Structure 1
Amino acid sequence: MPSVFVQGKPVASCPPLAPEARRGSVRRITEVGEDVLHKPCRDVTEFGPDLAALIDDMFLTMYVAEGAGLAANQVGVDLRLFVYDCPDDNGVRHVGHIVNPVLEPLDSARRRLIEEGEGCLSVPGAVMEVPRPDRAVVRGFDKEGRPLVVEGTGYFARCLEHETDHLNGHVYLERLSRRDRKDALRQMTDRREEVFARRAAKQKALSS
C-alpha cells in the first residue's frame, strides 16, 4: 500500500509541507458566527492563476493553524474549494485540493457511522465527538479544471465530509445537541488565546 496519495493518486513521496505552501501567504481564519461560514459557497467558474494563488495561501494557512483541511470560506472566500493534508486510519497520508466538490451519497449497506473527536479551525480550541460515515467519495475538479475523484476512509473520510459541509454553509457544531454545542463554545472561549499563540509561533517558525 503506498504511504502517500496526492490528488487521489499514489506517489513515491511528498515533502512535510506540500509544495503549494512554499508559494503561499498566511490568511486570517474566519470564526463561527461570521456570515461567510453560514451560507453555501458559489461554484468556481474561473480556473487560472488567481485560483492557484488562493490554493497556495490556503495550504500555508492550514499548516500554520495545524489543521488537516481548510475550506475557502474559512479564509473568507465564498468559493467551493478546499485543501487537505490528512492521514487515514492506516497512517496513509492524503494531500491535495478539490474544486466544486460533491459528496457522493453512499448506500447504507456500504457505510458505518463512527463517533470520534472532531475539531475545526474556525472553532478554535474545541473538540467534540461527532458521528460520521467511515467512508467518503468526493467528485470535483483540480485547479486546472480536470475531473477528480478522491476516496477516503476513517479519519480522512471525516475530513472530506467536514470540509464539504463547510462549503455547504455548515459547521460541525450544527451536528451536535444543544448541550454539546454550548460545551464546544465554552471550550473555544477557554482555549482560543492559547490556540492563537500556538498559530503565531508556528507562523514564525515556518517563515524563519
Structure 2
Amino acid sequence: MTARDIRLYGDPVLRTPAAEITAIDEGVRALVQDLLDSVALPGRAGVAAPQIGVGVRAFSYNVDDVIGYILNPRVVEVRGEPELTGEGCLSVPGLWHDTPRHPYARVEGIDLDGEPVVLEGEGLMAQMLQHETDHLDGVVYLQRLRKDERARAMKAVRESDWF
C-alpha cells in the first residue's frame, strides 16, 4: 500500500456525501491501509477517504502520536458552544482560517472486523473528528467559516497556484 495523492478543493468528490461501507472486503482493507499510510506523513491529523478520491465513509487519524481509522463514522455528540479554532486542510493547501468547532466531539463507527469503535475527545481530537466527518458529508471546512472569513478564504483559493 502507499500514501495516496490528496484531492484538492474543486474536485467533485470533496463535495459529494460519501456512501456507507456495506461489506468489508479486500478493497476496504486496502483502502484502510492507504488511509493509514497517507495520514502517517508529517503534519497530518486526519485523512478522509474522499480526500484520496474514494467516496466511502472512512477516515484515518494521527492525533497525539496515535494513528488509527474508523469506518462509517457518525458524530453522535458534541458539547460546548463552537469556538474559533485555527484550522487548515490538506485539500486546501497553504490556507489557515479560524473555524467554529465544538470543544468536544464523539464519533461512533466500526472497525475492519465490524466491531464498534468510539472516538472522542477535546482540542485537536474534537476538531479532527468534526473536520473528517464533514468531509464524509461532502463539506469542506471553508463552508463552516463566518461569512466575512469565508469571503477572504475563497479569494485566497482563487488566487492560489493550485486552484
Give the alignment's TM-score, normalised by structure 2.
0.89
Q: Tell me if structure 1 keeps the 8 A contact 2:77–2:107.
A: no
User: How far apart are residue 183 of structure 1 and its match?
Assistant: 2.6
Identity %: 38
- SS at the partner of 2:139? coil
Matches within 5 A, 1:30-179: 30-64=7-41, 66-87=43-64, 93-106=65-78, 110-179=79-148
User: How far apart are residue 74 of structure 1 and its match?
Assistant: 0.2
CA distance 1:102–1:130, change in 2 (3 Å): same
| CA distance, structure 2, for counterparts of residue 120 and residue 192 of structure 1 | 16
Amino acid at match of 1:27: R
Question: Which structure 1 segments of 5+ residues have no match?
Answer: 1-23, 88-92, 194-208
Q: Tell me if structure 2 keeps the 8 A contact 1:125–1:192.
A: no
User: How far apart are residue 189 of structure 1 and its match?
Assistant: 6.2
Larger radius of gyration: 1
User: How far apart are residue 186 of structure 1 and its match?
Assistant: 4.6
Q: Tell me if structure 2 keeps the 8 A contact 1:65–1:121.
A: no
User: How far apart are residue 191 of structure 1 and its match?
Assistant: 6.6
User: How far apart are residue 39 of structure 1 and its match?
Assistant: 1.4
Q: Tell me if structure 1 keeps the 8 A contact 2:100–2:145.
A: no
User: How far apart are residue 152 of structure 1 and its match?
Assistant: 1.2
User: How far apart are residue 150 of structure 1 and its match?
Assistant: 1.1
- SS at the partner of 2:40? helix
Give the alignment's TM-score, normalised by structure 1.
0.71
User: How far apart are residue 144 of structure 1 and its match?
Assistant: 1.7
| CA distance, structure 2, for counterparts of residue 26 and residue 49 of structure 1 | 17
Question: Which structure 2 segments of 5+ residues have no match?
Answer: none
Pairwise CA RMSD of aligned residues?
2.0
Please identify which structure carries the higher helix content.
1
| CA distance, structure 2, for counterparts of residue 125 and residue 182 of structure 1 | 16
Q: Tell me if structure 1 keeps the 8 A contact 2:81–2:102.
A: yes
Q: Tell me if structure 2 keeps the 8 A contact 1:69–1:163.
A: yes
Amino acid at match of 1:183: R
Residue by residue, what CA displacement relative to the aligned partner does 1:94-135 show, whole Å, maximum 9, x if unpaired?
A: 4210100010134xxx42422110000000111000111111
